[in-house]
Amino acid sequence: MKNIIRLLALSALFFVPMSHAAFISSLHDGFEGEGQAASVLNYNSFINWDITDGTVDLISNGNIWGISCSSGSFCVDLDGSSNNAGVMTTKEGFAAGKYKVSFDLSGNQRQGPFDTVTVLFGAGSLLNAVVIDWDAGWSTYSFMVDLVDGDKLSFANAGGDNIGAILDNVSVSAVPLPAAVWLFGSGLMGFLAMRRKAKSQHI
């Protein structure tokens, strides 16, 4: 009986890592799936994002403000329409590991001088603070990051003049282990199999 209890306690220990399944390992969002017909000011119903402070605007490509998205029909003005620029944070946390993060950002396309966008992971690990001129065209920004379990990605435009940098095509992908590691792993397995075979021939 004692052994069974011990076994149960041990298996409970082994099952702890299963909770990692709650974390995601990729996110690709060009804001095309929100199901809106036009721009929505102070939009707060994103599929993949919580607005954890202030507001952002969902922008329809070529709207009355003449804002062009990087691709597709929708993108996001990171400074909404409430005089309090938003903080956009992924709803889900990412599983620990190495990731490639990229996103498209343009200037606010309306008035000078510039906007500053802070890109963060987790509890304040700064990925970058992008200073972007109002008339800067679309650029893709890419980074490699090491994440711990539960890290969330967030974007925050400084200020609150309702005119923020424009975000599109956010992509976060886990970077697979280098092929060399797999080769080494299968080589090791082959070696062990050979050893096992050699051993059995001795008997």
Q: Binding residues for Ca ion, per CB under 5 A?
A: 30-31, 57, 69, 72, 74-75, 77, 81, 115, 159, 161-163, 168
Nearer to Ca ion among residue 140 and residue 186 (C-beta): 140
E-assigned strand segments in 87-199: 87-90, 97-106, 114-121, 125-133, 139-147, 153-157, 166-174
Please state the closest distance from residue 56 (CB atom) to Ca ion, in A. 8
Residue type at position 113: P
With respect to Ca ion, which residue has the nearer C-beta, 62 or 72?
A: 72
Which residue type, as a one-letter code, is found at position 55? Answer: T
Looking at residue 70, the DSSP 8-state letter turns out to be: S
Cβ 183 to Ca ion shortest distance, Å? 39
Least spacing, CB of residue 43 vs Ca ion, in Å: 10
Closest C-alpha among 107, 148, 153 to residue 127: 153
Q: Which of 162, 134, 158, 157 is nearest to 41 (CA)?
A: 162
Q: How far is the CB of 29 from Ca ion (least distance, A)?
A: 9
Q: Quick one: 41 or 96, whose CB is closer to Ca ion? A: 41
Start-end of H helices in the chain:
2-15, 179-202
C-beta closer to Ca ion: residue 115 or 151: 115
Between residues 146 and 161, which has the closer beta carbon with respect to Ca ion?
161
- Nearest approach in angstroms of CB 89 to Ca ion is 18
Distances, alpha carbon 11 to alpha carbons 5, 14, 16, 164, in Å: 10, 5, 9, 51
